[in-house]
Structure 1
Amino acid sequence: MIRGTGQMVPVCKLADLDSNVSFFSADTNFIVAFNLKNISESPCVPQPSVAFPQFDQEQVREAKPFGLCTDCEDRLPNGQYRVHDRVVLNPSEIAHQTYRWKTVAPAETVKCLQLRALFTPVLVVAPTLFKQVCSEIAVSRTYADAFVPPASKDEPHTDEAQRGELFVLSSRKPRYYQDEMFTLHVGLVNSVAGSPSGEECPTLFLRERSPDGATRFDEVPPSGYKTCKSVSLGADRNADWQSGFEVDSGVRSRWTGIGEHSFELFQPVDCSRDGKIQFVRSNKLTVQIDDPALIPRKLQGKVKGVGADVTLDKDAYQLGEDVPLHIAIENFDAPVPIYAIDPVWDPYPAIGIEVRDATGRLLRENERSSNEMLWMGHGRGPVRYPAGKVVTIERTLASQGWLPNRPGVYTVVVTWCPLDRTHFEPGPELPRKDDIKVYAAVQATATFRTLAEPSPPPTRSLNCCLISGQAEGYRFVRRIANDKRISSVLDFLTRCRLERSRTVELDTFRLADDSLRTSLRSPQRRL
């Protein structure tokens, strides 16, 4: 209830807020500011967040970590806190909260520490952005409006949005299944303008917002880049800004959840007059994560009440293109207790995957290439598979070492061997090998083709907006392209549907203007 009004306003949920972070370095202070925008349709009250700083573990062994000072600016001389009315955020309104600390030690006896992460309204993992911490971290209360540094309230403010998008963030598909591994591709909007970091290994930060509103801001290195020392397994070590490169999306490691996830990539370039660290940025990419349990399945090779299925995204793949495997296993009617290796804790031995050619012959090692992952496992042992429960598993042929390296027709074979523990008495001791017997071996197969040359793109119409002539189409495309809200072809299609009065052919759109093709180069590949 809001004091003096009798109005009941609910607390903001994470999903109600769009949370963004800014960094300021001024004199001997460092400030991390969070702007919280109400994107819901109703008023709500943002709750002050509790910070959990994570310091460099090596330094913490030798020095005591700094604590938090909550509402330090509002404390009375006797140590008590002033009482303030809570901030109420109406739809589209913004509030902010800050975290600040000293970057210079007040005495020689004070040992400064390096901050690795800050658990706040946004989980920030940005060790190269954080300045050293030499004092308690002062946590402010929540204030109305966006944060503006005190020393520069009267100076013009430059936002990252005004700097434009310097590079394009894209994904191979617009939709993935939960736990399906994927990377994000980074390329320049305009190759003529040059790269933001020259030939240096770029320092990048990925903002990810999950369907529940949880938001992260993580430092992410390129998976492979010609001047970077570390290269991820299977990545192109010769990649650069001109060719484009991949970054880790964070799936299965930094975030999870079914629904719409948004991504935006940033690179620091300089500081403004008020000490704000300035970034160049990418477009905002949206990826839908679906529940693999909803894939229509037809269990193959049903044996003794258990079965398996493997589903592919399509029938044909380009040479070198990875093949995602959407696998499902189920104990649907086994008459005995069924156990199997847990695919989460011990992914490698949980299920068998192999690829055969058109004659049924197993591919040799020189006939397949891979980004084969190192599966460590935890050795938890078999777990119970209750009847009626579908267990989904996401793999790719490259990660399993089975991606064909030449054109042809291939069949992927998935084998699941659940175990019968009828004669094993549950207890703290581990079962002996003789106590666990293979109950059945079930297989599922799927056939696909690997193509040497790309297929010609089909002729399609955008079917969105009437064009009586190419000149009118040119003007329409130019008008849409100049709209700052249009950052991709998908945005263009959406905007076209709103126009409803016109239709523009795809070729007209492609040939309308060179600058348009340049600005939408990467998204255009998805047409």
Structure 2
Amino acid sequence: MECPPRPGTNPPLPTPDDLAVGPDGNVYFLEPAMNVVVQLFKDWVGAAVFFFIPGLLSTRGQRRMCGASLSAAEKHGGSTMSRWGRLRCGIIARFLALFCVAAFTPRAKVQSQEVMIRGTGQMVPVCKLTDLDSNVSFFSADTDFIVAFNLHNISESPCVPQPSVAFPQFDQEQVREARPFGLCTDCEDRLPNGQYRVHDPVVLNPGEIGHQTYRWKTVAPAETVKCLHLRALFTPVLVVAPTLFKQVCSEIAVSRTYAGAFVPPAPKDEPHTDEAQRSELFVLSSRKPRYYQDEMFTLHVGLVNSVAGSPSSEECPTLFLRERSPDGATRFDEVPPSGFKTCRSFSLGADRNADWQSGFEVDSGVRSRWTGIGEHNFELFQPVHSSRDDRIQFVRSNKLTVQIDDPALIPRKWQGKVKGVGVDVTLDKDAYQLGEDVPLHIAIENFDAPVPIYAIDPVWDPYPAIGIEVRDAAGRLLPENERSSNEMLWMGHGRGPVAYPAGNVVTIERTLAGQGWLPNRPAVYTVVVTWCPLDGTHFEPGPGLPRKDDIKTYATVQAAATFRIVGEPSPASHWEP
């Protein structure tokens, strides 16, 4: 058996678009550029750090893995790629993010975890992210634009919401020519002498709602003021909605937290209503109710009533996905359809002829916008119009819950175990519908090898890290005309082998379509996974690649799993709302 990688279609890689570490310490992904902006806050020992990476670096001409020397053309299935593109930027972004997380991590001692209520002496805990369900609304009021956040206490105890530390991300082309606008915190409480009014903190009892607003001018006060386009706003909810934001022509005024939900002033002849906001016009679903961490999946969008037609007259739907993670972190992201017949852009492997009647896919954001084991909640929105109070109205989907499990807890057979190292592959089921992708839950481990074990990192360089191939019932390697691919391309980062300490299970999530090995006709098949760890006895510590003479394969270990492709739907192949 040839050690990996085998030239051919390449697997997908996590897309670290534009990397940012928000005020809550979480790592976020936006879109590609490179400037590093660090904002320190005098009343909060921490930082908001953002990375925008336009692309640089060059690749090494060759990589050596399992005794096979591969050129750039061989690694990419015969076509040489002269640029790393978006993914090569991730290596710098990840390095800088790790540095800044270490340097500017919030310190719990600086901010008390309890607040004393004046007059009563009662100590009330500060709301944690998991205590609050945060939602966002958008309003226009004359020359002002308002982004309002309602903070719903879903815990079983009272708590005090702390004002969030905000940070705006402006269009990077514009900020090269104009100074970005800053924040004005608690502006409504600033006195003429520069001091601030003192207010008792808002206490949210279970089930109660508070709100906070972010407001700015949309008209320049003078010709010398250059208005800027806002790309994202780091607030109680990370909002990446450039088409919803109106231009910023002033400082962004950040309010304190108020009791009750935010209600904009409505015209006297039109009472405030949320009817349009509540209407469910489309269904959001996933193929499975449970996935493993780092397992790639999309979300399916379909109409509640296919006869009713599309929710709006847009040629290409503008959609927004709200995602709440198990730790309470919440995002509101503008997401295009992965493929839609009237949209110019599309994702590789998506159905480009999809529409509202057939249903279409959107990116779930796994491995790029969110992470974490536990329940993730999704809800999809589409703007339809503005009400008379200038609130942007949305139609929406149902609320979808997807459970993310730890792949390290999968019972492993470890049929591939040689000289103290092993590999395993586990499938979800035995039969798959024709055209249905086959997820591969792979694990590798150094059990007790007598020498230091090194291998390619499956996160940074997933293609050469592991070998995957499919054989038919006769043991014949499946030729290209008998398999299909989701057209995903792999690009590497050029890192050297990393150490694999004994006793640590490393899990890897792949799919056959992502690897270019999905059979395109009904039959019985076997997927074979190969891992070739290296003997690191003579490796020198450091970030560089080891010398050619020191690279020796320690062992070649394999695992296999048999499955069947059927021509009719198989169990669990349908979409689950």
Give the TM-score range, shorter chain.
0.7 to 0.9
Q: Does the CA-based 8 Å contact 1:210-1:262 persist in structure 2?
A: yes
Measured in 2, the distance between the counterparts of 1:34 and 1:313 equals: 40
Indicate yes or no: 2:564 matched with 1:449: yes
**CA spacing shift, 1:523–1:200, aligned 2, 3 Å:** farther
Superposed counterparts of 1:325-336, under 5 Å: 325-336=440-451
Give the Å deviation of 1:525.
5.9
Over residues 470-514 of structure 1, what are the superposed CA-to-partner deviations in whole Å (9 max), with x where a residue is unaligned?
Answer: xxxxxxxxxxxxxxxxxxxxxxxxxxxxxxxxxxxxxxxxxxxxx
Give the Å deviation of 1:379.
1.4
Give the Å deviation of 1:172.
0.2
Give the Å deviation of 1:173.
0.2
Q: Does the CA-based 8 Å contact 1:356-1:412 persist in structure 2?
A: yes
Over residues 345-380 of structure 1, what are the superposed CA-to-partner deviations in whole Å (9 max), with x where a residue is unaligned?
Answer: 111111011111111111111110111422212112
Over residues 289-311 of structure 1, what are the superposed CA-to-partner deviations in whole Å (9 max), with x where a residue is unaligned?
Answer: 00000000111221100000000
Per the alignment, residue 77 of structure 1 pairs with 192
Q: Does the CA-based 8 Å contact 1:372-1:400 persist in structure 2?
A: no
Give the Å deviation of 1:197.
2.3
Over residues 117-176 of structure 1, what are the superposed CA-to-partner deviations in whole Å (9 max), with x where a residue is unaligned?
Answer: 000000000000000000000000000000011455995222157642000000000000
**CA spacing shift, 1:245–1:312, aligned 2, 3 Å:** same
Q: Does the CA-based 8 Å contact 2:287-2:573 persist in structure 1?
A: no
- Higher deviation after alignment, 359-368 or 373-382: 373-382
By relative contact order (CA 8 Å, sep 6+), the higher-ranking structure is 2
Q: Secondary structure of 1:349's match?
A: helix
TM-score norm. by structure 1 comes to 0.85
Give the Å deviation of 1:199.
6.0
Indicate yes or no: 2:240 matched with 1:125: yes
Measured in 2, the distance between the counterparts of 1:172 and 1:252 equals: 18
Indicate yes or no: 2:396 matched with 1:281: yes
Q: Does the CA-based 8 Å contact 1:112-1:134 persist in structure 2?
A: yes
Over residues 431-468 of structure 1, what are the superposed CA-to-partner deviations in whole Å (9 max), with x where a residue is unaligned?
Answer: 1111111100100100000001235xxxxxxxxxxxxx
Q: Secondary structure of 1:152's match?
A: coil
Superposed counterparts of 1:305-384, under 5 Å: 305-384=420-499
Larger radius of gyration: 1
Measured in 2, the distance between the counterparts of 1:213 and 1:219 equals: 20
**CA spacing shift, 1:199–1:153, aligned 2, 3 Å:** closer
Over residues 249-294 of structure 1, what are the superposed CA-to-partner deviations in whole Å (9 max), with x where a residue is unaligned?
Answer: 0000000000000000000001111111000000000000000000
Measured in 1, the distance between the counterparts of 2:299 and 2:539 equals: 47
Measured in 1, the distance between the counterparts of 2:382 and 2:320 equals: 6
**CA spacing shift, 1:428–1:350, aligned 2, 3 Å:** closer
Give the Å deviation of 1:425.
2.9
**CA spacing shift, 1:389–1:428, aligned 2, 3 Å:** closer
- Higher deviation after alignment, 273-282 or 145-154: 145-154
Measured in 2, the distance between the counterparts of 1:363 and 1:524 equals: 27
Aligned length: 461
Q: Does the CA-based 8 Å contact 1:170-1:523 persist in structure 2?
A: no
**CA spacing shift, 1:124–1:162, aligned 2, 3 Å:** closer
Over residues 204-226 of structure 1, what are the superposed CA-to-partner deviations in whole Å (9 max), with x where a residue is unaligned?
Answer: 00000000100000000000000
Alpha-carbon RMSD: 1.7
Give the Å deviation of 1:326.
0.2
Q: Does the CA-based 8 Å contact 1:36-1:95 persist in structure 2?
A: yes
Q: Does the CA-based 8 Å contact 2:276-2:393 persist in structure 1?
A: no
Measured in 2, the distance between the counterparts of 1:341 and 1:284 equals: 39
Q: Does the CA-based 8 Å contact 2:484-2:513 persist in structure 1?
A: yes
Q: Secondary structure of 1:523's match?
A: coil
**CA spacing shift, 1:292–1:119, aligned 2, 3 Å:** same
What percentage of aligned pairs have identical amino acids? 91
Measured in 1, the distance between the counterparts of 2:180 and 2:210 equals: 29
Q: Does the CA-based 8 Å contact 2:301-2:362 persist in structure 1?
A: yes
**CA spacing shift, 1:27–1:20, aligned 2, 3 Å:** same
Q: Does the CA-based 8 Å contact 1:199-1:227 persist in structure 2?
A: no
Structure with the larger helix share: 1
Residue ranges of structure 1 left out of the alignment (5+ in a row): 456-521
Residue ranges of structure 2 left out of the alignment (5+ in a row): 1-115
Q: Does the CA-based 8 Å contact 2:539-2:550 persist in structure 1?
A: yes
Give the Å deviation of 1:523.
13
Measured in 2, the distance between the counterparts of 1:168 and 1:267 equals: 12
Measured in 1, the distance between the counterparts of 2:166 and 2:220 equals: 22
Measured in 1, the distance between the counterparts of 2:413 and 2:549 equals: 33
**CA spacing shift, 1:78–1:416, aligned 2, 3 Å:** same
- Higher deviation after alignment, 189-198 or 388-397: 189-198
Q: Does the CA-based 8 Å contact 1:160-1:279 persist in structure 2?
A: no
Q: Does the CA-based 8 Å contact 2:496-2:544 persist in structure 1?
A: no
TM-score norm. by structure 2 comes to 0.78
Q: Secondary structure of 2:295's match?
A: coil
Give the Å deviation of 1:198.
3.6
Q: Does the CA-based 8 Å contact 2:486-2:516 persist in structure 1?
A: yes
Per the alignment, residue 337 of structure 2 pairs with 222
Per the alignment, residue 385 of structure 1 pairs with 500
Q: Does the CA-based 8 Å contact 2:144-2:216 persist in structure 1?
A: yes
Q: Does the CA-based 8 Å contact 2:277-2:395 persist in structure 1?
A: no
Q: Secondary structure of 1:438's match?
A: coil
Measured in 1, the distance between the counterparts of 2:559 and 2:276 equals: 50
Per the alignment, residue 472 of structure 1 pairs with none
Give the Å deviation of 1:428.
5.8
**CA spacing shift, 1:425–1:3, aligned 2, 3 Å:** same
Q: Does the CA-based 8 Å contact 1:410-1:447 persist in structure 2?
A: yes
1:143 is aligned, of 251, 258, 266, to: 258
**CA spacing shift, 1:423–1:317, aligned 2, 3 Å:** same
